[in-house]
Structure 1
Amino acid sequence: MIDLLEGRFFKTFLAVIEEKSFNRASEKLGYVQSTVTNHIQLLERACGQKLFHRLSRGVKPTEAGLKLAKFAHQFVHLGLTLEEAMNESNQPKGTIYLSMHESFFVTRMSPLIQQFHLKFPNVKFRVETGYHHNVIDDVSQHVVDLGFLPRNPQRDDVNFYPMIEEELIFIASDELTRNVEANGLKVLNNEAVISYGNSCLYHTQANKVLEEAGIEVGNAIQYPSIEMIKNAVKCGIGFALIPKIAAKKEIDEGVFRSLPLSSGIFSTHGIIVNKDRNLNFPAQMFKSFVLDHYSFQTDPEKA
């Protein structure tokens, strides 16, 4: 089987998975579509398995295709690592693949990426965003080099490196906060809880705190980004649990306030790395750069 495999087949295979289309994959890779089709057919012949379901609007991987994806990512990563090792230049170059929650990218990671890129302009970044389980999957399946999570996933296949203790707060409009202060937490029974959805760790933490406070969580609204969540709170649509750093500007400006619901809600953000992944030189440098920046600060205001 291995004699029939070529690295370009794996690159084509991953491009089709990412683009969900042979045509879009060919545009991305600069091939004609027949070349992409030929690469996939040769790969299917080598594996002895059908790798994609052909749908009316694109394609999706079969069960065999999903299994192969993990090894394809490892194969491509190995090639990039080998290329880096053969490069005698002291100036690192290549692409670092990251996965994290959208709010962490906005509030914490984007400035660090900018600083690192200014220092090492030949290093590029590719960032995936998703929920807690999406980040874990990206790391465990070798899709990315580094994942960033708001707590230790306690898994045998990844290493967790703590970075910073992040404080979370409930935010609400000034009107709703005054109502709670005047009439008690029972007011929140009639208000919507805003979050990224049931898959979000912050949503789970919010429900736990609300349940302990005797607040019945009935109405929940899901938004895909931290900015949409904050704007919904500004409009008085409901209240939300978000990282304190993400709300600092609006609280300072009096746009919304922190609810007197609970104090001392923290999550320890850290980096996760697949135990079987040998990070290339740029990824190793960026991991050290991030950990050195935070040095596991317990006070988020020091970051």
Structure 2
Amino acid sequence: MELRELKTFVTTAKLLSFTKAAKDLGYAQSTITNQIQALEQDLGTMLFERLGKQIKLTQDGEYLYTYADQILKLADEAKDLISNSLTPRGSLTIGTAESLCTYRLSEVFNSFRALYPKVELNIRFDTCCDYRTHLRKNTIDLAFLPDITCTENDLITHVLFDVPMAVIAAPNHPLAKMQQILPAHMNEQALILTEPGCSYRRLFESMLTQVGAKPASVLGVSSNEVIKRFVADGWGIGFLPYATVRQELAANRLLALPWQGPAFAITAQLLYHKEKWLSPALREFIKVTLEILKNTTGAGVE
């Protein structure tokens, strides 16, 4: 077995696609196929079941994956130790919510790139619940989430700052005339929310469920900009981090309803797996993030 074959195997097992693995590794798809076949011949077993265009790990493939992932991690550690260099290098894959990336993380990215220009930063957007899966599968190095405080034992959590939220509507919406808004007022209202799985959408809907409020409709949208546009056009009521709507509120294109319901208690958090090998690049990125964002105020910003 060669390390490059193990890396190809692990990448393919994570993505469950020869095509995606080829794109991720920068290989031709035939190279991926040849390396997997060579590994299977070397081990005398099938590692993947091929069902049309779909693949999945066999039982032997599952066994190998556990060891191969650890072998690659140990190889990376050995390479770093043998090189006897503490200079961050390589690449980092960072999962983050769109709102945090747009409104608060630019200073972190700019500062880190100025200090360590040889480290490649790859940023990906997804739903909050998916990032936990990505951390556990080691397909991302760390994640920034707006959520209630994470207490999952296999994840290291750094709470960075509070994330104020806004219940928003068009200025001419009927609820805009009210002096206070409670969860019960969402009954029979049309809601424009983020996609299912988003942490603060789950929190908001939970508050409504607790008081028996049943919206007339819920439209799930993956783009904050589209949500703002739909709400401004009178499609319904939205719920977003304050930072994402600050300009629209100032321009009177949107209105923040006077929410008097339970506090949302959303915080920005930095998460990584407790068993994750902290490479020099990852250690320094975490250090820079905490120096810039730890315990900073999010009031009027997030």
Normalised to the residue count of structure 1, the TM-score between the two structures is 0.82
Cα deviation per residue 1:56-102 (whole Å; 9 max; x = unaligned)?
5x444336567766665554444444444444556422111212223
Cα deviations by residue, 1:113-147 (Å, 9 ceiling, x for unpaired):
13321332111112232222211111122222212
For 1:133-282, what aligned pairs fall within 5 Å after superposition? 133-149=129-145, 150-176=147-173, 179-181=176-178, 188-211=186-209, 215-262=213-260, 264-282=263-281
Q: Deviations over 1:214-251 (max 9, x none)?
A: 63224111111222222221221111211111111111
Q: Which residue of 1 aligns with 2:56?
A: 61
Alpha carbons of structure 1 residues 36 and 100: separation in structure 2 relative to 1, 3 Å: same
- 2-side partners of 1:187 and 1:219: how far apart? 14
Query: Structure 1: 5+ residue runs without aligned partners?
Result: none
Change beyond 3 A, Cα 1:43–1:292? same
Against the structure 1 CA distance between its residues 242 and 32, is the aligned structure 2 distance closer, same or farther, given a 3 Å change threshold?
closer
The CA distance in 2 between the partners of 1:130 and 1:274, in whole Å, is 17
Q: Which moved more, 1:135-144 or 1:293-302?
A: 293-302
State how many pairs are aligned. 298
Shift of 1:203: 1.2
C-alpha distance in structure 2 between counterparts of 1:63 and 1:234, whole Å: 51
1:242-295 Cα shifts (integer Å, max 9, x gaps) = 111111111112110101233642312211121111210111111111111122
2:282 is aligned to 283
TM-score in terms of structure 2 length = 0.82
* CA drift at 1:173: 1.0
Going from structure 1 to structure 2, the CA distance change for 1:273 and 1:20 (only over 3 Å counts) comes to closer
- CA distance in 1 between counterparts of 2:126 and 2:86 reads 34
Q: CA RMSD in A?
A: 3.2
Give 1:243's aligned amino acid: P
**Is the contact between residue 81 and residue 279 of structure 1 (CA under 8 Å) also seen in structure 2?**
no
Answer yes or no: is the 8 Å Cα contact 2:144–2:268 preserved in 1. yes
Q: Which runs of 4+ in 1 moved over 6 A?
A: 182-187
In 2, the alpha carbon distance for the partners of 1:78 and 1:256 equals 52
1:38 to 34, 38, 46: 34
Following the alignment from structure 1 to structure 2, what is the Cα–Cα distance between the partners of residues 19 and 244? 35
Is 124-133 or 237-246 further displaced after alignment? 124-133
For 1:49 and 1:262, locate their aligned partners in 2 and report how far apart those are by CA, in whole Å: 62
**1:297 corresponds to:** 296
> What SS class does the counterpart of residue 172 from structure 2 fall into?
helix
The AA in structure 1 aligned to 2:118 is: N
Contact kept? 1:193, 1:220, Cα under 8 Å: yes
In structure 2, stretches of 5+ residues that fail to align are none
CA–CA distance in structure 1, aligned partners of residues 7 and 100 of structure 2: 29
Q: Give the deviation of 1:190 after TM superposition.
A: 3.8
Question: Structure 1 pair 45/114, CA: closer, same or farther in 2 (3 Å)?
Answer: farther
**Percent of residue pairs identical:** 24
**Residues 211 and 62 of structure 1: CA distance in aligned 2, closer, same or farther (over 3 Å):** same
Distance 1:160 1:47, change over 3 A: farther
Checking the alignment, whether the CA contact within 8 Å between 2:159 and 2:267 is kept in structure 1 is yes
Stretch of structure 1 that moved more, 60-69 or 245-254: 60-69
Q: Which stretch of structure 1 is more off in the superposition, 199-208 or 82-91?
A: 82-91
- Correspondence list, 1:115-134, <5 A: 115-134=111-130
- Contact kept, 8 Å, 1:96 with 1:145, in 2: the verdict is yes
